[in-house]
Structure 1
Amino acid sequence: MTLPRQEPRGNQLGRDVTGFLPDPTTVPGTAGFRPEDDAVWRLAVQHLHVRSNDVHTTYSYGLATALCDLHAEADRDVVLPAIILHDTGWSKVPEHEVLAAIRPGGGRRDVVIRHEKEGAAIAAAILSELGHDPAKIDEIVAIIDGHDSRPTSLSLNDSLVKDADKLWRLTPHGVDTVMDWFGLTRPQAHALIGSRVHNQLFTGAARTIARALAAVATIDSTPQRTALG
């Protein structure tokens, strides 16, 4: 995968404008990892190197941060560790079974449930090692144990984790990933993703974000956009 560019290819203006930029922390939507969440990430990432779950998790973390910004009553100390840890259980599933579990026209609910339960156990171990509040550990574990298979939400925190997880699919990285999972064109992948996202979101904020991401994904396949290279 090509990493997003961090440096410019040039300076068409020809002048240094960096002294006029605002403090990045004052800009809405900034979603860097909190130090306490980075500690969780460092222990979790070894369990995320399956089918691009590591990159998926970073994008989902950003989306979860945005959703928390829009829901002041959410508990970030639950939502953000939960989104980091939610897919760690796939590391305990044979890799050839992962896509079979979620493929269109079929699927393996038993495998999906297995990854949830394995992830819940991994989360409990990591959070206990880091000394997290036992009550918050219990809530995080309950969220992870059912984040895909449970059609209902246990709480606002659970809703935001579920929504952030699903919204990733509509990001450019999510669409690219689904294309290669199942050998789909971009429009086909977007159709599959849309059928599995919009009607399964719990919050109005997530539904709005989903519409915006879907609009970008759709435009990427129009003849007007593709003709531009």
Structure 2
Amino acid sequence: MDSPTSTRYHRDVRAFIPAAAEVPGYLTMPAAHAAIWELAKAHLAVRNNDSHTLYAYGLARALVERVEGADTDVVLPAILLHDTGWSTVPDDQILDAIAPGGGRPDLVRHHELEGARIATQILTTLGHPKPVIDEVVAIIDGHDSRREAISLNDACVKDADKLWRVTPHGLTIVQQWFGLDHDEALRICSARVQPYLLTDAGRAMGLALAAVASIDQVPQRAGLV
């Protein structure tokens, strides 16, 4: 038996830790999704799209548990593949395409079309049913340029994609991309996320993430453990 990890409580509490399967929200990636990831990750190794995709996948997993009627067989492959098309855009142009106050809608559209093509190839290779492939491709083809959702599954993908921006990881990456401090990143990201979320669950998650990020920077929090 390992020694207790706490310096305050001199007893071992590990016997009371539940199995992962019993913990709400605790997730791992099942084999079917891991297979998609293995084929997608080479297309995601640009501008932090790989880590963004994994966090967005986690958010999508939480969303589909709370959005009645959402189809995990569509939403989760779609979120794993939605940004693969950025691999076909020159790396030095990607930030131009997504920067606040500017943007390159032509490149945004290009990455959607290429992402749809790549998704078709990967899901066909893995033997996914054609109706699933068709719906995933329809979602990816417009996931950024199309503001309105074409389906409940599309709404979940859109929300998970946007919610990443107000996660700790998303805020850190946005700070690095555009030379912002934490407060600036939180304000610009939250303003570009909260009004455009499409599901009640997504809106609740967005406000919760923004609230936690806000508390991180109030003066009352400074200096506390």
Q: TM-score when scaled to structure 2?
A: 0.95
Q: Equivalent residue for 1:199?
A: 195
Counterpart among 97, 100, 103 of residue 96 in structure 2: 100
Deviations 1:97-153 (A, max 9, x none): 100011121110001011111111110000000000011000000100100000111
Work out whether residues 32 and 62 of structure 1, in 8 Å CA contact, stay in contact via their aligned partners in 2: no
Q: Equivalent residue for 1:23?
A: 19
| Superposition misfits of 4+ residues, deviation over 3 angstroms | none
Q: Secondary structure at the match of 1:224?
A: coil
Please tell me the residue identity of whatever aligns with 2:158. Answer: K
Q: Equivalent residue for 2:61?
A: 65
Sequence identity, in percent? 55
CA positional deviation for 1:80: 0.3
C-alpha separation in 1, matches of 2:215 and 2:165: 16
C-alpha separation in 1, matches of 2:209 and 2:218: 15
C-alpha separation in 2, matches of 1:116 and 1:45: 16
Deviations 1:149-174 (A, max 9, x none): 00111100000000000001110000
Q: Equivalent residue for 1:77?
A: 73
Alignment root-mean-square deviation, CA: 1.3
2:30 pairs with 1:34: yes
Q: TM-score when scaled to structure 1?
A: 0.93
Work out whether residues 168 and 213 of structure 2, in 8 Å CA contact, stay in contact via their aligned partners in 1: yes
Gaps of 5+ in 2: none
2:1 pairs with 1:11: no
C-alpha separation in 2, matches of 1:47 and 1:66: 25
Deviations 1:17-50 (A, max 9, x none): 2222212112111222121111100110111111
Work out whether residues 67 and 199 of structure 2, in 8 Å CA contact, stay in contact via their aligned partners in 1: no
C-alpha separation in 2, matches of 1:140 and 1:105: 30
C-alpha separation in 2, matches of 1:137 and 1:130: 11
Deviations 1:76-111 (A, max 9, x none): 010000000001111110011100011121110001
Q: Equivalent residue for 2:165?
A: 169
C-alpha separation in 1, matches of 2:76 and 2:95: 26
Q: Secondary structure at the match of 1:184?
A: coil
Please tell me the residue identity of whatever aligns with 1:180. Answer: Q
Q: Equivalent residue for 1:148?
A: 144
